[in-house]
């Protein structure tokens, strides 16, 4: 084989190798795009139905956002009026909420509710992506509101469970009983007449009422 023929074959093989590499890269890129679009379609489907999956919690929702939009990190933050700064509540960063943001992550803020925002970074996002993230963030905000309402109800129920009304016209005896109940952690009021007891029940709503 002459030298020109050998050189021609080498060039031919290099062209074939480059073409194969380009086809493989294109295939992988299209597969990644298809996976991302599938994830986005699932997010849109959930949003259209107004669904938050059973068992989902906020960290899981943030992780889903991170995976769907191929983000390096997603933080959920709330503005603290006392500290006059944004405080991170949850993050997808494995190092935790105290981990600093790196320069290459390029954080972007997305408002999702009153005093709440998502901080996302590390991905190439389009205006459509931001709209989807805002909509998904609204679901997270609704979940937080629901959790806070449930916590308030539980705290109120616990407080009311400790409220005791004693109806007793013997003041020294009533005071002795009240000291005993308060020592056990109960919140207590004493009424010396039936009419006084009815007023206290209407305004204070005790969990238990004792008549002697």
- Pair 140, 67 in one domain: yes
CATH number, domain at 92?
A: 3.30.450.40
- DSSP designation for 117: E
Triad 112, 116, 120: Cα angle to 5°:
65
**Rounded CA gap, 63 and 71, in Å?**
9
Q: What pLDDT shows up at residue 160?
A: 61
Triad 24, 29, 34: Cα angle to 5°:
125
- Pair 186, 121 in one domain: no
For residues 200 and 206, the answer to whether their CB atoms sit within 8 Å is: yes
62-105 tens-digit pLDDT: 988 888 888 899 999 999 988 899 999 999 998 988 888 887 77
Structural domain containing residue 103? 52-157
- Pair 15, 30 in one domain: yes
Tokens of 210: 């004792």
19-62 tens-digit pLDDT: 777 777 777 777 776 666 666 666 555 544 444 454 568 888 89
CATH number, domain at 192?
A: 3.40.50.2300
**Rounded CA gap, 160 and 151, in Å?**
14
Q: What pLDDT shows up at residue 195?
A: 85
Measured from the Cβ of residue 62, the count of other Cβ atoms closer than 10 Å reads 24
* Average pLDDT of the residues of the chain: 79
**Rounded CA gap, 114 and 141, in Å?**
9
Q: What pLDDT shows up at residue 88?
A: 93
- Pair 62, 117 in one domain: yes
What distance lies between CA 187 and its chain's CA centroid? 35
For residues 74 and 129, the answer to whether their CB atoms sit within 8 Å is: no
- Number of structural domains (the chain) is 3
Tokens of 72: 């390096």
**Rounded CA gap, 176 and 187, in Å?**
14
- Pair 111, 19 in one domain: no
**pLDDT (average), residues 101-116:** 84
Burial letters 109-131, b for 16+ CB under 10 A, else e = ebebbeebbbbbbbbebeeebee
**Rounded CA gap, 65 and 129, in Å?**
10
């Amino acid at each position: 084989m002459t030298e020109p023929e050998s050189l021609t074959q080498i060039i031919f093989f290099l062209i074939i190798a480059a073409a194969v590499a380009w086809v493989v890269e294109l295939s992988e890129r299209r597969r990644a795009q298809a996976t991302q679009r599938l994830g986005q379609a699932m997010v849109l489907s959930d949003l259209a139905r107004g669904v938050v999956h059973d068992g989902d919690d906020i960290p899981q929702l943030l992780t889903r956002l991170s995976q769907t939009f191929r983000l390096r990190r997603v933080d959920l933050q709330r503005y603290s009026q006392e500290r006059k700064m944004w405080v991170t509540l949850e993050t997808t960063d494995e190092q935790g909420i105290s981990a600093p943001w790196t320069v290459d992550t390029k954080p972007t803020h997305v408002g999702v509710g009153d005093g709440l925002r998502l901080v996302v970074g590390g991905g190439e996002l389009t205006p459509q992506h931001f709209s989807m993230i805002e909509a998904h963030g609204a679901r997270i905000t609704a979940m937080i509101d629901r959790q806070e309402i449930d916590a308030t109800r539980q705290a109120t129920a616990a407080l009311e469970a400790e409220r005791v009304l004693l109806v007793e016209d013997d003041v020294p005896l009533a005071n002795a009983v009240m000291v005993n109940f308060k020592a056990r952690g109960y919140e207590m009021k004493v009424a010396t007449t039936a009419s006084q007891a009815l007023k206290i029940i209407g305004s204070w709503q005790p969990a238990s009422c004792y008549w002697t």
